[in-house]
Amino acid sequence: MDALSSPELNAVLHQPVRTRIVAYLAARGETTFNELKQALEITDGNLDSHMKKLVSVEYIQSKKQTAKKGKQQTLYYLSEIGRHEFENYIETLKRLLSPQFLP
Amino acid sequence: MLANQASDQIEAIHTMMASGHRSVHMERHTLILWGLTTAFLILVGGAIFTHERFPVSWIRALSVTTFITIVLTAVAYFDFYLIRRSRDEREESISFVQLQVTKVWWLLVGLIVMINLGMHFYGGGYMFYSLVLIIMGLALYIHGLFSRQMLALAGVMMILLGLASITLRLPFPVIEWLTIFCFGLGWPLLGFTLNHPRLNKSLKYRLSFSLLWLAIVTIPTVAIYQSGRLEDVPETTPIPLTQYLQQGETVAVTEEVVTIPAGTIVPLKVELSGDVLEGLNVTTLPMLLSHPIDIVLSDGKPDGRFRVAQGPWKKHVYNYRIRDFSMTSILDRDTGPQVQLKLRLSTNN
């Protein structure tokens, strides 16, 4: 890619819901499915499909935690790869907003 | 086109990151539990740990501190247990930030306990409840920074109330009742209204609620203080000191008011002791009364109520103060070693 060509955006992250999921996790640390659903205000099915996509590319990892009464709780967090890709994605967005790419 | 998309995405990232950072949630029960416990401790603590029951000051100090520590530790444990239980029920986690904010909360509560202990030995007790308001206001403010703006606003109001009580030199009972109503009434009210959608969307509602909250906390305080003051007013007419001295002990009156005129010489008995200086006897200093004073006698003994120059009736326990205290040592060739003690006796809170 030369200096004047459009920078390439990460296809996985360049999707509004997935961007919001990753941004939320970057700030929050770890969270449950329910909390994510409330924060994003989307349906279970919609969130589930995007989570599956992010887990499949290893941007998001999960771990089990035993809650009260022995109930298992799944916590989701951003992996090192996910954090790195998210930072690169933000850099790319910033470059797109630089004067050379503005109409 | 691409630049517009990039701009929208960056805005969405900002919004979600802000939402992620505001991951701390104040549970309703936390405010109710801590608020009612604090109000209970203020109401009951003073009645249990009296000078009569615990005449030795360090024993009283340790007993109060132990009692407060046990109660507050139990509350902290129970509160955290309830937080975990409600989070589990909602399938939510306790974020890292929430854990840190909780630790800060406990540290500030611990600081209040330590200040209370210190004041038993070093004085300044009349400022204690003002400090409680300021420190717990700070705890609410810090919590509010990561959770609800309304909490931060309530924290600021408590800090301002604490500062105002010191700078306006409010009478001790006023500050005490203000603290009781702040915690016993104000905190549960905050707990019940905190998650109301309007409070979290509109600044106008938050400010209106803040004013209502202030009114709910201060109006009962003023009402109780005023009714207490009316009870302090004696029903009998003052008699001059000369008449009181002449009538002797033959007249049995349950309550009487004696006016001591300005210009009366009042002997001040001084008993001093220290780690390197020991008083050899009780010294009596003659003092000139600059204003007339009315004192109330119950069953022939002063019961602590007094007023200066027809002013409001006061209680000595809240108003006798030693101010501007200083001690210097002098070694003079003519007079030898001397210690100069300067202090001002005040009848104003």
Q: Which residues, other chains included, contact B76 with Cβ-Cβ below 8 Å and sequence gap of 6+?
A: B106, B109
Q: What is the CA radius of gyration of chain B?
A: 27
Is A97's CB within 8 Å of B6's CB?
Answer: yes
Assigned token pair, A6: 């459009």
Residue A1 is given by DSSP the state -
Is A39's CB within 8 Å of B93's CB?
Answer: no
Per-residue pLDDT tens, chain B, 349 aa: give them.
677 778 888 888 988 888 887 778 889 999 999 999 999 999 998 889 988 888 888 999 999 999 999 999 999 999 999 998 888 887 778 888 888 999 999 999 999 999 999 999 888 888 999 999 999 999 999 999 888 888 999 999 999 999 999 999 888 889 999 999 999 999 999 999 887 877 777 788 888 989 999 999 999 999 998 887 777 788 888 999 999 888 876 666 688 899 999 999 999 998 888 888 888 888 899 999 999 999 999 888 898 899 999 888 888 877 888 888 899 999 988 889 998 999 998 887 6
Is A102's CB within 8 Å of B3's CB?
Answer: yes
B266-305: pLDDT as tens digits: 999 988 888 888 888 888 999 999 999 999 998 888 988 9
For residue A22, the model assigns a pLDDT of 94
Single-letter amino acid code for the residue at B95: S
For residue B202, what are the CA distances in angstroms to A41, B8, B149, B205, B208? 20, 24, 10, 5, 10
In a 3-state reduction of DSSP, which class is residue A56? helix
Closest CA to B110 of B136, B146, B130, B83: B136
Is A73's CB within 8 Å of B93's CB?
Answer: yes
For residue A1, the model assigns a pLDDT of 43
**A29 vs A3, residue with greater confidence:** A29
CA B21 to CA B145: how far, in whole Å? 10
The reply to whether A77 touches chain B by the CB within 8 Å rule is: no
CA A102 to CA A96: how far, in whole Å? 7
For residue A38, the model assigns a pLDDT of 86
Single-letter amino acid code for the residue at B294: D
For residue B46, the model assigns a pLDDT of 83
Identity of the residue in B2, B3, B16 whose CB atom sits nearest the CB atom of A20: B16
A69-98: pLDDT as tens digits: 667 788 899 999 999 999 999 999 988 887
Written as one string, the DSSP assignment of B273-321 is B-SS-B-SS-EEEEEE--S-EEEEEETTEEEEEEEETT---EEHHHH-E
Closest CA to B28 of B205, B188, B152: B188
Beta pairing partners, A75: A63
B22-45: pLDDT as tens digits: 778 889 999 999 999 999 999 998
Residue B125 is given by DSSP the state G
Is A68's CB within 8 Å of B12's CB?
Answer: no
Looking at chain A, which residue has its C-alpha nearest residue B20? A28
The reply to whether B204 touches chain A by the CB within 8 Å rule is: no
Query: What's the whole-model pTM score?
Result: 0.76
Identity of the residue in A6, A28, A96 whose CB atom sits nearest the CB atom of B23: A28
CA B186 to CA B204: how far, in whole Å? 20
Closest CA to A76 of A43, A46, A48: A48
For residue A2, the model assigns a pLDDT of 45
In a 3-state reduction of DSSP, which class is residue B255? strand
The reply to whether A53 touches chain B by the CB within 8 Å rule is: no
Residues of A in contact with B85 (CB under 8 A): 68
Assigned token pair, A75: 């916590």
CATH of range A16-94; options 3.40.50.720, 1.10.10.10, 3.20.20.70, 1.10.579.10: 1.10.10.10
Q: Which helix (H) or strand (E) holds B231?
A: helix B203-232
Is B20's CB within 8 Å of A34's CB?
Answer: no
A26-71: pLDDT as tens digits: 988 888 898 899 888 899 999 999 999 999 999 999 988 776 666 7
Single-letter amino acid code for the residue at B141: Y
